[in-house]
Amino acid sequence: MKETLKNSDIDSIVACGGGIETAAAVAWAVGQGYKPFLFTDVVDRNNPAVKGMTRACEDIAEYFDLPFKAAYNDMPMENTSIPPTDYSFTQAIKLVLGNPSIRFKYIINGGNAEDSMQQRVQIRYLQRIITSRWSMQYDMHGILWKSFLNVPIMLFPFEYLQKSEIIGIMMNKHPELVKKVWTCVSPIKEENNYRQCGQCGKCTEWSSALRVAKQAKLKIQEGLDYGYNMRK
């Protein structure tokens, strides 16, 4: 679809998953003075968990008054449980190559110290595709210097932090935003809506990290405000 991005001051991209890492990545970008464009890749739009994730992404974008786009998949797929990192960065390539008037300087990722190196390995191909296309080259030995200088830089601002530490940092600065994140893969239906189950693997991971973050109030020297926010 031919469409012009309305925000000409956009300078970065955040692939949004609706979780605490995404919220922190967006908060970090805004704190640095960047103007990110948020997107999420929706494979199964009828999946309640995906709906919750998409709504959380919308809430995060609205919290910071940032542009957001949900890219809905129309390709027939028998297996829709493919990890998002296997395909979502295709949308970033579309954004960069499809909007030559915008200089996307950074692609900001929420990976933390507990994550594998999978994401870093996968996204290097994104940069290779963009750089080779700009240079009209299929072999990276011949890419142009201008393309080399302008390809978006991948940023991982939390790769030295654990999930619980990210929660603690976010609770100090953006406690209301933390309430909007979504982690559940098996939500429970309640009337006309769904709530996070609190029992699936992702919910357990979240509750465990949250518990560690709450316990940290005993270790933080100036912990009064921290403890108050965590109790909320």
Question: In a 3-state reduction of DSSP, which class is residue 53?
Answer: helix
Is residue 1 one of the residues assigned to a domain? no
Q: What is the pLDDT of residue 86?
A: 72
Is residue 76 one of the residues assigned to a domain? yes
What angle, rounded to 10 degrees, do the helices at 20-31 and 48-64 form? 20
Q: What is the pLDDT of residue 197?
A: 93
Is residue 38 one of the residues assigned to a domain? yes
Structurally, the chain folds into a number of domains equal to: 1
- The answer on pLDDT for 79 being more than 60 is yes
Please state, in angstroms and rounded to a whole number, the distance separating the CA atoms of residues 75 and 80.
Answer: 10
Please count the residues of the chain: 232
Range of the domain at 114: 12-231
Is residue 4 one of the residues assigned to a domain? no
Which uninterrupted H or E stretch holds 54? helix 48-64
Neighbours of 9 (CB within 10 A): 7
> pTM (2 decimals)?
0.88
Is residue 103 one of the residues assigned to a domain? yes
CATH number (domain holding residue 62): 3.40.50.620
pLDDT in tens, 95-149: 999 999 999 999 999 988 888 677 777 778 889 999 999 999 989 999 999 999 9
Question: In a 3-state reduction of DSSP, which class is residue 195?
Answer: strand
Backbone angle region of 201, left / alpha / beta, with phi > 0 → left and psi within -120 to 50 → alpha: alpha
